[in-house]
């Protein structure tokens, strides 16, 4: 896929999720007991056991309250997945607190693996 096509598919939350799934980010992480929960293996991860490989912000075109951020995350034992959070006043504080504690956060430009 060329860079322009990938950027277009990454322009929406659903498009970005679809692209990340193609890249192997298949787990739908959740926060449980202040840790990252991976449904695929039932394991809880501390913030020191994960990396945020990339993140994407989305703003709702029709509603400014419809803002979200998508995190592509890898664990130290090879699980790849995502977690979505609102940002602004509707953000989930448990997700925010976990993300703040992750030391290895990367931001890659679209098209960079």
β-bridge pairing 43-45 and 67-75: unpaired
Place of tokens 């997700």: 95
Please check whether residue 112 lies inside any domain of the structure: no
pLDDT of 106 above 70: yes
Please check whether residue 64 lies inside any domain of the structure: yes
Ordered alpha helix ranges (H), the chain: 3-9, 13-22, 93-101
**What is this structure's pTM?**
0.83
CA–CA–CA angle 69, 108, 62 (5° rounding): 30
Please check whether residue 31 lies inside any domain of the structure: yes
Percent of the chain scored above 70 by pLDDT?
79
Please check whether residue 110 lies inside any domain of the structure: no
pLDDT of 6 above 60: no
pLDDT of res. 88: 82
Identify the domain containing residue 70 by its residue range: 3-101
The domain total for the chain is: 1
pLDDT digits (tens, 9 = 90+) for 53-93: 999 999 866 565 678 999 999 999 999 999 999 988 889 99
Please check whether residue 108 lies inside any domain of the structure: no
């Amino acid at each position: 896929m060329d860079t322009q096509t990938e950027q277009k598919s990454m322009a929406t939350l659903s498009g970005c999720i679809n692209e990340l799934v193609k890249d192997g980010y298949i787990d739908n992480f959740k926060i449980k007991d202040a840790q990252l929960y991976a449904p695929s293996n039932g394991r809880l991860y501390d913030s020191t056991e994960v990396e945020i490989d990339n993140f994407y912000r989305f703003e709702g075109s029709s509603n400014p309250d419809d803002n979200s951020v998508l995190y592509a995350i890898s664990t130290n034992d090879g699980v790849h997945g995502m977690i979505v959070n609102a940002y602004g006043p509707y953000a989930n504080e448990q997700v925010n607190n976990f993300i703040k504690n992750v030391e290895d956060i990367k931001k890659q430009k679209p098209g960079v693996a």
